Structure 1
Amino acid sequence: MSDELTGKTVAFLVAPEGIEQVELTEPWKAVEQAGGTPKLVSTDSGEVQGFNHLDKADTFPVDATVSDVSPSDYDALVLPGGVANPDYLRTVDEAVAFAKGFFDAGKPVAAICHAPWTLVEAGVLSGRTITSWPSLQTDIRNAGGTWVDEEVVECTSGPNTLVSSRNPDDLPAFCERVVAVVAKG
């Protein structure tokens, strides 16, 4: 176990259901293994439902709701994917404002797969280079971002560092980069 994230708390923002489970659990483990403290933030209290693609998987306890926390409570934000997860989050004003708050505060944000939909809604992708699941590329371009097809992208051309990856196959590189970026601050 490494200690590069000791003293760092990382928010994982998710909807009540539709989270691609591996895109939550793998970065979560990476943060823990690096000595950090991951916290599950959702729009509702209780538990959230993970999915393996379209099949229900495990449930996870929510640590806090977006109405009860602020980006100032965390050192970084991770946005897992799953199609339904970010599609729901982008319809909840408090969730969108929470994600945008990390950009406003200059704190690292990491998004994988469909998760950038929340960032499109937050209006924070103008001038940024990002990757995602390919079906989001038009949305990202329409939001002023530059979409690229790469395993992991670290964009520093804005108020914060933005890490992104395309899909679960990219998780090893994504997790490694998330830990490195959060460790830098």
Structure 2
Amino acid sequence: MTTSNDSQNSEKVAFLVAAEGIEQVELTEPWKALEQAGYQPVLISPESGTVQMFNHLDKADTKKVDVTVADAQGGDYAALVLPGGVANPDALRTDKDAVAFVREFVDSGRPVAAICHAPWTLVEADAVDGRQLTSWPSLKTDIGNAGGTWTDQEVVIDGNLITSRNPDDLPAFCSALLDALDGK
């Protein structure tokens, strides 16, 4: 995978992840879709170095962090992608810089796409009150307790929030993200 500013659209898209516990396909498939559309994905994490991706509970590939969340400027990115995995968003929601970064994006009106367990970070950022979204089913109560309405659909779009339930929903998730970027 290469990122190039010579492509048809060199706008950057932020991918915010923790140091480990990222569901690999939920990072790599949107990343690939964005690159193919000419966007420049950027990996942001609370710590520099590399992050550990997983295929469910099994360690998978690692990926180099491009910038730490403390050093990232939200205004530099056209959209934010929050991949799932259970441990990934659970760790992100305890990092004040990550939560602030997500909150800034939601407030900006730019697209925020979260899949599987990633809406936990949206809950922590107080970004679901009055909003409709979907996620892995175990987050239904958390979303409801935070004032959101959970629904069981492959993709839910509410304003600038794009959410999906699991890796099976990736085609619809990626399509909705690209549509949001094209329509901004």
Q: Give the number of aligned pairs.
A: 178
Q: Which amino acid aligns with 1:153?
A: V
2:122 is equivalent to residue 119 of structure 1: yes
Q: Among the aligned pairs, what percent are the same residue? A: 66
Unaligned 5+ segments in structure 2 are 1-6
1:5–1:179 Cα contact (<8 Å) kept: no
Q: Which amino acid aligns with 1:115?
A: A
- Give the TM-score of the pair, scaled to structure 2: 0.95
1:96–1:122 Cα contact (<8 Å) kept: yes
> 1:11 Cα shift?
0.1
2:64 is equivalent to residue 61 of structure 1: yes
- In structure 2, C-alpha distance between the alignment counterparts of 1:30 and 1:143, rounded to whole Å: 31
Instruction: Tell me the SS of whatever aligns to 1:57.
Output: strand
* CA deviations over 1:65-92 (Å, ceiling 9, x no partner): 0000121111100000000000000000
Equivalent residue number for residue 109 of structure 2:
106
> 1:7 Cα shift?
3.0
Specify which of 133, 137, 155 is matched with residue 134 of structure 1.
137
Instruction: Tell me the SS of whatever aligns to 1:6.
Output: coil
Instruction: Tell me the SS of whatever aligns to 1:25.
Output: helix
Q: Which amino acid aligns with 1:148?
A: T
1:5–1:31 Cα contact (<8 Å) kept: no
> 1:104 Cα shift?
1.7
- In structure 2, C-alpha distance between the alignment counterparts of 1:50 and 1:7, rounded to whole Å: 26
Does the C-alpha gap of structure 1 residues 54 and 22 become closer, same or farther in structure 2, counting only changes over 3 Å? same
Equivalent residue number for residue 45 of structure 1:
48
2:180 is equivalent to residue 184 of structure 1: no
Q: Which amino acid aligns with 1:150?
A: Q
Instruction: Tell me the SS of whatever aligns to 1:45.
Output: coil
2:21 is equivalent to residue 18 of structure 1: yes
* CA deviations over 1:119-176 (Å, ceiling 9, x no partner): 00000101110000000000001111010000011112xxxx1100000000011111
- In structure 2, C-alpha distance between the alignment counterparts of 1:82 and 1:5, rounded to whole Å: 31
- In structure 1, C-alpha distance between the alignment counterparts of 2:8 and 2:137, rounded to whole Å: 31
Unaligned 5+ segments in structure 1 are none
- In structure 1, C-alpha distance between the alignment counterparts of 2:98 and 2:176, rounded to whole Å: 24
2:34 is equivalent to residue 31 of structure 1: yes
- Give the TM-score of the pair, scaled to structure 1: 0.94
> 1:5 Cα shift?
7.0
Q: Which amino acid aligns with 1:155?
A: D
Equivalent residue number for residue 162 of structure 1:
161
Provide the aligned C-alpha RMSD in A.
1.1
Instruction: Tell me the SS of whatever aligns to 2:114.
Output: strand
